Structure 1
Amino acid sequence: MKAATIVTIKKELQHLPKEDLLQLCLRLGRFKKENKELLTYLLFQAHDEDSYIENIKETLDEYFESMNTDSYFYMKKTIRKILRLIKTYSRYSITKTTEVELLLYFCERLNQLKPNIHRNRTLDNLYQRQIIAIEKKISTFHEDLQYDFKVQLDNL
């Protein structure tokens, strides 16, 4: 996901009512480093969570495609970087299911990697920790959502 320029953000802010600006600024105060990305999400993508998730998945695909698979060491560094991105992007979202969807996609992509990550103890443990985290997050959802996500989790 690319952050919008300050000029574009400024133009969008001029069209918002005062109350909305106040809420945006309060929420913006929680973050320091990723202020522009958060503001971009709030102004341009918060209304369409599905396209936001698809944009993040495309970004993750780019990282997976450019990953150096010659060594597990290089794979591990890139996988951890991807996981940090998922955590960052999911913090922006108001919807609780966004992180679970992204983590499920992440685990799905990990299973497709060649060489197999399950042959390396560190990468396999990282994968297993994500599965456990997904299960914990799913348990807090509504029963219908729990079922849908558990079906996806079982397919992994």
Structure 2
Amino acid sequence: MKAATVSQLKKELQHRNTDELLQLCLRLARFKKENKELLTYLLFESDSEAGYIETVKAEVDEQFELINTNSFFYIKKSARKILRTLKKYIRYSGNKETEVALLLYFCEKLGDFNPSIKRNTTLMNLYQRQVDYLEKKIGLLHEDLQYDYGLLLEELKP
């Protein structure tokens, strides 16, 4: 089965009544965890972006606490998993400020992690890629935010 385009879906959804749309949304939410998470963000958390950022930061803190520090292999796997989760939450928001704030927080946590990531090339490369990515993203923000986030980014550079 070939999926319809977004414009085709939009046209079809315009012809449905409110009850049908509600049923379609609930059925969609039943099938995939990401759909439920996105719906939760849109319904409950999109009003307060600052609260959403704090919630995600708390989850990142928890995930960093759970990292197995016995070997760099486990640290790498966990760091990638945390970054994957963070990118998913960033996609839900779609806000550039949120993306920069959360990635800065991730880099800060990874840079302060113990044992130091400086002893592992792969982790340093992961860290450096995120810093470079942040540099590009900060350039797209408003001038005042560019300055504020730029200062934070300078502290993170190795």
Asked if these proteins are the same fold (TM beyond 0.5), I'd say yes
Which runs of no fewer than 5 residues in structure 1 stay unpaired?
Answer: 1-17
User: Deviation digits for residues 90-148 of structure 1, max 9, x if unmatched?
Assistant: 00104211111111000100111111001100000000000000011111111111111
Question: 1:62-81, aligned counterparts within 5 Å?
Answer: 62-81=62-81
Letter of the structure 2 residue corresponding to residue 84 of structure 1: R
Aligned counterpart, 1:82? 82
Task: Tell me which residue corresponds to 2:128.
Answer: 128
Partner of 1:42: 42
Dislocated runs of 4+, deviation >3 Å = none
In the TM superposition, residue 154 of structure 1 has moved relative to its aligned partner by 1.0
- Find the structure with the greater CA-based Rg: 2
Corresponding residue of 2:3: none
Shift in Å, 1:149: 0.6
Q: How does 1:1-156 map to 2 (within 5 A)?
A: 34-156=34-156
Q: Which deviates more from structure 2 when the two are superposed, residues 77-86 or residues 141-150?
A: 141-150
Identity, in percent, stands at 61
Query: Structure 2 unaligned runs (5+)?
Result: 1-17
Give, as a single letter, the amino acid of the residue that structure 1 aligns with 2:36: K
User: Where does residue 15 of structure 2 map in the other structure?
Assistant: none
1:155 alignment partner AA: E
Tell me the distance in 1 between the aligned counterparts of 2:47 and 2:95.
11
**What amino acid does structure 2 have at the position aligned with 1:80?**
R
Number of residue equivalences: 131
Task: Look up the equivalent residue of 1:43 and give its one-letter code.
Answer: L
Q: CA deviation at 1:150?
A: 0.2
